[in-house]
Amino acid sequence: MTRFAAPIAEQIWDMKYRLKEADGTPIDLSVEDTWRRIARALAEVEAEPAVWEDRFYAALEDFKYLPAGRITAGAGTARSVTLFNCFVMGTIPDTMGGIFDMLKEAALTMQQGGGIGYDFSTIRPKGAPVTGVAADASGPLSFMDVWDAMCRTIMSAGSRRGAMMATMRCDHPDIEAFIGAKSDSARLRMFNLSVLVTDTFMEAVKADGPWDLQFDGTVYHTVQARDLWNRIMRATYDYAEPGVIFIDRINKANNLNYVETIAATNPCGEQPLPPYGACLLGSVNLARLVAEPFTDAARLDEDALDELVTCAVRMMDNVVDASRFPLPQQEAEAQAKRRIGLGVTGLADALLMMGQRYGSEEAAVQAEGWLKRIARAAYLASVDLAKEKGAFPLFDAEKYLASGNMMAMDEDVRSAVREHGIRNALVTSIAPTGTISLYAGNVSSGIEPVFAYAYTRKVLQKDGTRTEEEVVDYAVQMYRAVHGEDAELPDYFVNAQTLAPLEHVRMQAAAQKWVDSSISKTINCPEDISFEDFKEVYMAAYETGCKGCTTYRPNDVTGSVLSVSEEKKAPEVVANSDAEPQTPHGDVIYMSEPFDRPEHLEGNTYKLKWPDSEHAIYLTINDIIVGGRRRPFEVFINSKNMEHFAWTVALTRMISAVFRRGGDVSFVVEELKAVFDPRGGAWVQGKYIPSILAAIGGVIERHMIAIGFLEGEGKGLKSDPTAKVVGLDAPRGKACPSCGQFSMMMVEGCMTCSSCGHSKCG
């Protein structure tokens, strides 16, 4: 017997969360061992660890409470890691020294795997005078390019993929350049971008009034507010960025607005944080709490929900004391306010089990009721902790009760807070739960609708072969268990693509009312939505009380949304006369036949002298002309040093084989540059190169730039006329940088791969 509801759940656990030795030998022999490891680690700070270990284990058992991935993977491992997912960094000073001090702090945080958020509004605009040096400022976007390069460097060093959020106020003089930054596909690839929109600006948009762009009291330009709003909307319509954050609403609703001002969020936007704030996340799995699903007696076990929330709040509070922090400022901030972000996952599945259609008014009312109950239980649990362990250090009863969401909370909760204090300043947040939702049996993610009720996934086996498996939504599994394997799914089984955008907004607004931080949610829009209707989505989000808005409209730039089976079952495998079977939603992609080799090719030969090596290495890179443009076709690597003979021959053959397949082959450079020699690298022309293979990657990259194939160092393609998939007519997602499958989709504000679980946001 296994605790896992689906094979993909066990695979995710093994890949992401299972504790192993350095050589890959499992330490966690079962998922029960993982739950026990987490429970024991979080109980160690208690006066009676054994008692609380068993209670924590019971909450984790059967995937009822799901700590964020960083906690699940890191708690109890004795590794020097942070258990916090993301951080908002310190305020960036408008000085050169201060800016690069902040860059160093960002690098140290990302080195431990933390995603980061920054407000770049504090840097003077491009062209502003710089006192004392007779120069003009280069502006915040130029420094964002530096952050972007740093993030790529940290990522290439073998760490967790970097995730960053950059925000800018809607009245900053460089806001128009910020809005259009992602129109260049090679720029700021490591950032999510969001505009900080104020209430004053929204009123000016409605009135079609003027809007001053200013910095430090100086007005640089005046524009029409509606024109600027339309520029934000057009960029988002075309490129899915920037997002919009209603920053005044966030600050007004903040329980801590008497001691902090927020200007940035973590990379997925669900956690607005002050300087050096950290997000601590976990989710209650509503799909596991529905009794008698798909029957007339179906109901959410509210007593079990209260008990689970109470235990989860205690576990999360203990993480504040059990975790390590990349910077002392982050630890001080966490200890002073002890904010946690308890959310939900499986909400859409729970609604389905109750016979409700996600997006309907009935479902919105139900979701609001559940989230209010969670908020009440979480606040009261935190009050009980304050009785036992003390309130958070910056607690001030009257100021706290007169701020943010506490003003709307029930009077019995307010009275308890007034009398006893509260342990955690903020308690609720709805985070992206893409990977942990797969781990929990492929339950619906966060408060999102189900993306696809079933799809086929190719799984890479240890012997190099791929096997096919059907990945079925958890609610569908439950429905089949009740009504039979062949039963047709009822009409209330809707998915992310078939919902109207305003139905997405309705669910987000309903949930936001009782969430004291924010919500990670993607509003899927059809490709053919009109620009005016698209703008209405954002206005509706503002008018209904949302704290931000993120949309995804599939197009040639953002990539198509993966197709969903109209029959609401796993897509059938379609035979192709020239290739192996393919799935219609782009699960496996077969590229065109390799290019034929012309008789004559143009190329260049490069000499690479590695320090302490007796003989130089010579690289010859030949190019082919396709569509009037040069692209790399083959590589020859030669050296008199026989020590390198075997691997140089292997590299020659493998890289050439990849080049001849066409498409975006720039990943070859990234992979080579990421190779580190355990014996140490070398300094070459004033730059540290981690290995001779990385040096070869650098040579190939310089060649690609020289022939116009790449934009620049560390950047993407200029264009690629050969990046064409044959034998596949259905829509497909963008290519996953981890597994290569064309199955990237926007989930909770973040591009996520449905094949391997890779996420742009880490």
Return d(Cα 648, Cα 637) in angstroms, integer: 6
Rounded Cα distance between 657 and 294, Å, is 53
Q: Which secondary-structure segment (H or E) carries 384?
A: helix 361-389
The question of whether 555 is a catalytic residue gets the answer no
Q: Which of 254, 255, 266, 405 is catalytic?
A: 266
The answer to whether 87 and 276 have CB atoms below 8 angstroms apart is yes
Has 599 been annotated as catalytic? no
Q: Where are the beta strands (DSSP E) in 616-680?
A: 617-626, 629-639
Residue 157's contacts (CB-CB under 8 Å, 6 or more residues apart) are 111, 674, 676
Burial of 532 (C-beta count, 10 Å sphere; 0-12/13-18/19+): exposed
**Which of 105, 260, 270, 331 is an active site residue?**
270
Spell out the long-range contacts of 570-575 with Cβ–Cβ below 8 A and sequence spacing 24 or more.
570/454, 570/455, 570/456, 570/470, 570/471, 570/472, 571/454, 571/455, 571/456, 573/456, 573/468
| Cα Rg, the chain, nearest whole Å | 27
Contact between 440 and 270 under an 8 Å Cβ cutoff? The reply is no
Note if 266 is an active site residue.
yes
| Rounded CA separation 711/701 (Å) | 10
Q: What's the rounded Cα separation, in Å, for the pair 106 and 267? A: 13
Residue owning tokens 């596949």 = 728
Report the distance separating Cα 352 and Cα 295, nearest Å: 11
Residue of 86, 151, 170, 268 marked catalytic: 268
Closest CA to 144 of 85, 184, 86: 184
Q: φ, ψ for residue 282 (rounded to 5)? A: -165, 160
The pair of three-digit structure tokens given for residue 715, joined into one six-digit string: 């950047």
* Cα 27-32-38 angle, rounded to 5 deg: 75
DSSP of 747-762? ETTEEEETTT--BTT-
Cα 401 from Cα 417, distance rounded (Å): 8
Contacts of 243 (CB under 8 A, 6+ apart): 192, 193, 194, 195, 236, 269, 548, 549, 550, 749
Strand locations in 286-363, DSSP E?
Answer: 290-291, 299-300, 341-345
For residues 536 and 521, give the distance between their C-alpha atoms in angstroms, rounded to a whole number: 17
Beta-ladder partners of 246: 197
The CA distance from 593 to 577, in Å, is 14
**Distance from C-alpha of 432 to C-alpha of 522, rounded to nearest angstrom:** 10
Active site residues: 266, 268, 270
